[in-house]
Every structure is written in structure tokens, then in C-alpha cells.
């Protein structure tokens, strides 16, 4: 429908966005998906090889079953990488970065704020952002 804005299947936000990147269209067989470049690039199963995106449709299908710990919306494909099946917390790209994680600085292997201390090259400055702490602890100054 040309009157309905395309939304990202991973973060559920419409159109191109500064933080999430350009909204790209993907098709595999009969499945069609749209995903922002940063939302797709930070999914663990997705890769960009010689200009060709791999496994974006798979990530969108998996994300349709996963709710984000931060905002509660579906499409959260970024899981904490602490241990094998030890942490089941999932986030969207934006929500993961709102916890203080920076994919450019910290890498694609995301660690939630509970397990961040186990991340390689951990620094106390990366525990959680003030904004995320305030959101989770509204009665704390």
C-alpha cells in the first residue's frame, strides 16, 4: 500500500532514521522484509559480504518472536552473549545502545547491563548509561 509508511521489521520504526540508518528492503522467496542498516548489521546471524546482506530475513523471522527487555516491543534480535543460554535478555539496536553499549566501540557481541562486567575489555565507564538507569530506577536521584 503506497499510503502506509514502511517500517523496520526489527525495531518497528518507520523510514530512514539517523541512528538506525537507511531502511533497506529484503526478499527471500515469498518473504519480504524491511530493516534499517544498523538494526540488521547488529543481529548476530547477519553479515554483509562483498556488498550482499546475508540472513536478514532469518533475523526478522526470529525477531518476530522476541520482545525487547527495555521497550517490550517485538523484533528484539540482539541477545546478551554471556554464556551459552545463561542469559535470555534481548534488545533492539537502539534499546541496546541506550543501556550504554556502543556497537562501534564495543563490538557486535552484546553484553546486557547485568553481565557487562564479563565483556572483553570491560571498563567501568560502560556499566550502564545514566538515561537507562533513570528509566529503570525512576525514584532514585
Per-residue pLDDT, averaged over 95-104, amounts to 88
DSSP annotation of 68 reads: -
pLDDT for 3: 65
- At 48 the three-state DSSP class reads strand
Q: What distance, in Å, lies between the first and last C-alpha atoms of the chain?
A: 47
CA dist., res. 35 & res. 25, Å (int): 7
Residue 110 contacts residue 78 (beta carbons within 8 Å): yes
Per-residue pLDDT, averaged over 84-91, amounts to 82
Pairing of strands 90-91, 78-79: antiparallel
Long-range contacts made by residues 44-47, C-beta under 8 angstroms, separation at least 24?
44/77, 44/78, 44/79, 44/81, 44/108
- pLDDT band at residue 54 using 50, 70 and 90 as cut-offs: very high
pLDDT for 125: 41
pLDDT at 135 over 70: no
Q: What is the DSSP string of 97-135?
A: HHTT--HHHH-SS---TTTGGGSTT--GGGS--HHHHHH
Amino acid at each position: 500500500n503506497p499510503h502506509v509508511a514502511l517500517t523496520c521489521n526489527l525495531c518497528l520504526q518507520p523510514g530512514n532514521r539517523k541512528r538506525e540508518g537507511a531502511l533497506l528492503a529484503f526478499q527471500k522467496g515469498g518473504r519480504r522484509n524491511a530493516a534499517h542498516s544498523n538494526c540488521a548489521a547488529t543481529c548476530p546471524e547477519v553479515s554483509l559480504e562483498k556488498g550482499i546482506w546475508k540472513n536478514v530475513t532469518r533475523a526478522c523471522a526470529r525477531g518476530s518472536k522476541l520482545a525487547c527487555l527495555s521497550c517490550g516491543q517485538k523484533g528484539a534480535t540482539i541477545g546478551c552473549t554471556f554464556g551459552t543460554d545463561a542469559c535470555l535478555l534481548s534488545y533492539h539496536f537502539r534499546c541496546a545502545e541506550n543501556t550504554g553499549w556502543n556497537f562501534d566501540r564495543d563490538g557486535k557481541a552484546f553484553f546486557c547491563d547485568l553481565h557487562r562486567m564479563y565483556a572483553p575489555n570491560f571498563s567501568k565507564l560502560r556499566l550502564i548509561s545514566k538515561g537507562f538507569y533513570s528509566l529503570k530506577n525512576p525514584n532514585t536521584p
